[in-house]
Amino acid sequence: MFKHKTLSLMILATLGASASLSFAAPTISRLTPPSNPLVAGASTLARFLPGQRFDLQATVIPEAGKTITAVSFAVDGVPVVAPLANTSILPATAINVAKPGAVAASLRAYSNSTVGVHSLTATATQSDGTSTVATGNFEVMPILTGQGRTAKNVILLLGDGMGAAHRTAARVMVKGYAQGMAQGKLAMDTFPFTGMVMTASLNSIVTDSAPGMANYVTGNKAQNNQEGVFPDDTTDAFDNPRVEYLSEYLHRTKGKSLGIVTTADVFDATPAANAVHTSNRGSGTGIVDQYLDDRSLTGLTVLMGGGRKWFIPKNSAIAAANPVNVGNGSVRSTSNDYVLPADLVAGWGAAPGAKDPNRDLISDFQTAGYAYASDKTSMDASGTPDKLLGLFSYSNMNVAFDKINKRRGTSTIVDDYGFPDQPMLDEMTSKAISVLNKNNTNGFYLMVEGASIDKQSHLMDSDRWIEETIEFDRAVKVAQDFAASNPDTLVIVTADHECAGVGIIGAYTGTGASSANVATYDAAKFPKYAIQADGYPLTTDVPGKMVIGYAGNADRYETWQSNAQPSQDSQQPFIGAAPLNTYPVTLIGQPNTRNVSTGYLITGQVAGDQGVHTATDIPLSAYGRGAMLFSGVMDNTDVFFKIGQVVLGGSK
């Protein structure tokens, strides 16, 4: 019978000492949550708010021919006792460790409210009676009182992949410069406090978007590809040791609601890493099911973005109004769905899940009381419902560059994708705030993502990511205006990482595709774009337009002109059918040949067809209640505890 587990990844010196004994001891090869084995007596990894829940787990390998008979856990030398239903020992058949008899022992939803650093031990015993101990630590962070008033609402706007240069480029385009002075500021530029964020994940200096978001809203480092969990040795993508999200913690302790708004597919890493627990960010069916199934844990009230393909029953009939007459768009599958182990269900009160590719998830959301919007028109017509689901495309929404040109009547790209009436991010943000603020007794946490700043930076499509950043800033203004009239609101603007090593290197002053036409220094002058009433430039191809360089780039063919069509989005279910199959193709792992006949070759630093994330620190700006805490250089996990201080303890 289990008693409890540990936080740590420190294999004891006793393991080495045991080699001299007549009986070899078992080995604890992984202890979770992870501790830092290089810093004696201090934790630099596992930190939690008072009472924040997290799982304990140990991977144990017995001596050859033996079996593991018991695993127990202690905190500060005191055994930790938990209900039997909250514990489990998985056999070797369910884990990846290639050792006979290996087990993964779990204890779910542990919490500790005593501030300070705590020692943790796990003791494993095998069938011959020999045992071993692994030791680690974790820290419960203090919440200071008497610091000022608390924040009722938190709005975190995340420009995916948005580094300092992305912000600068948007300002140059939409505000302009004259005689060395910016002729205006972005909304995010007007925030009174700014800091820099270090973005590393648990296992790399270069993060992907899953831990890039999760680190902000759990206070703990996640591994690349993983959301709301610690790494483990099991084969199941949904049974990893969990750590409680900001949304879950605030809903459980304060009754706050959750809103998630994105221009990406809602299964994507950033939105999911606010509410879904998985070690595989690609497990789309299980991810979207968890949004609804665990709404009682997260307080999910608003979910808007793309991703309808995950919500449609796999075997439903082809819709008569389907814009592309190939299937119904569903990609639901048993292979990426979820069923949770019993101990996780018992410990967390989570839904057990089911392998149900024929689930009609839109209908299930509606049955649960969510109004459903399929386009901007229905979103606007929904009024202010109690809860709202909005799915505006099969996968990622179209980018601002193409949505705006559709509204102007100069492009049919969004028609080709089958969703001509998509809202802009600022419109979605305004709707989300109105829903969340309805009967807003306890407050809310809202995450807003400008997703394709990153996606278009990967593709090195400069004009599209710049307009994505402009669209994102317009959403920032919506949040800022709300906070100005609701001063108990904290607004944070940041990114999960920088993408592609963006730099503004000059201006394009020629007529051909050549580096000779890139003007630098004095010759670059000040680009001037004609901004229209809708807030976007009439055209991005102006004389002396900005030239964007990339330090994290793959080979590409550059024309310095805007691309009439976006590159194919491999996430779209009908990408192989006309008209989308006529769009420019980028093939993973192969050189980018877009504009090969019209551009000139710029060689890159990385293989393949896309730019990559970088480890460059990114800016964070804060406005409203507690904004003063968000200055200086900070780790991404620090942001979580600063938010906790503002919401729980208060700040000036």
Q: Which residues are annotated as a binding site?
A: 160, 268, 270, 449, 454, 458, 496-497, 613
What single letter denotes the amino acid at residue 83? P
State the angle between helix axes of 209-218 and 636-644 in degrees (0 to 180), rounded to the nearest 10: 30
Closest CA to 401 of 383, 425, 385, 418: 425
Tokens standing for residue 25: 């001891």
- The residues that bridge with 89 in the sheet, in sequence order, are 105
Lookup result for tokens 């804060």:
622
Kind of pairing between the strands at 300-306 and 388-391: parallel
Using a 10 angstrom Cβ sphere, with 0-12 exposed, 13-18 middle and 19 or more buried, the burial of residue 374 is middle
DSSP state letter for 101: T
Distance CA 391, CA 421 (A): 11
SS3 246: helix
Task: Give the max Cα distance, the chain.
Answer: 82
Closest CA to 626 of 51, 150, 98: 150
Give catalytic residue positions.
209
Lookup result for tokens 């501030």:
115
CA distances from 648 to 93, 342, 578 (A): 44, 32, 53
Is the preceding omega at residue 33 within 30 degrees of 0, hence cis? yes
Using a 10 angstrom Cβ sphere, with 0-12 exposed, 13-18 middle and 19 or more buried, the burial of residue 428 is buried
Q: Is the dihedral of CA 423, 428, 434, 436 positive or negative?
A: positive
Question: Which ranges of 283-360 would DSSP assign to H, the alpha helix?
Answer: 284-293, 295-298, 342-348
| 3-state SS, one letter per residue, for 462-485 | HHHHHHHHHHHHHHHHHHHHHHHH
SS3 19: helix
Closest CA to 12 of 164, 122, 130, 167: 122
Residue stretches of the annotated binding site for Zn(2+): 160, 454, 458, 496-497, 613
Distance CA 17, CA 38 (A): 19
Closest CA to 492 of 82, 151, 240: 151
- The residues that bridge with 103 in the sheet, in sequence order, are 60
Distance CA 279, CA 115 (A): 29
Q: Which residues contact 596 (CB under 8 A, 6 or more apart)?
A: 557
Query: Cβ(455)–Cβ(469) under 8 Å?
Result: no
The string of DSSP letters for 388-407 reads: EEEE-SSSSPPPHHHHHHHH
End-to-end C-alpha distance for the chain, whole angstroms: 49
Query: Cβ(636)–Cβ(213) under 8 Å?
Result: no
Closest CA to 615 of 161, 165, 245: 161
Residue stretches of the annotated binding site for Mg(2+): 160, 268, 270, 449
Query: Cβ(25)–Cβ(126) under 8 Å?
Result: yes
Lookup result for tokens 């514990």:
87
Tokens standing for residue 99: 């050792």
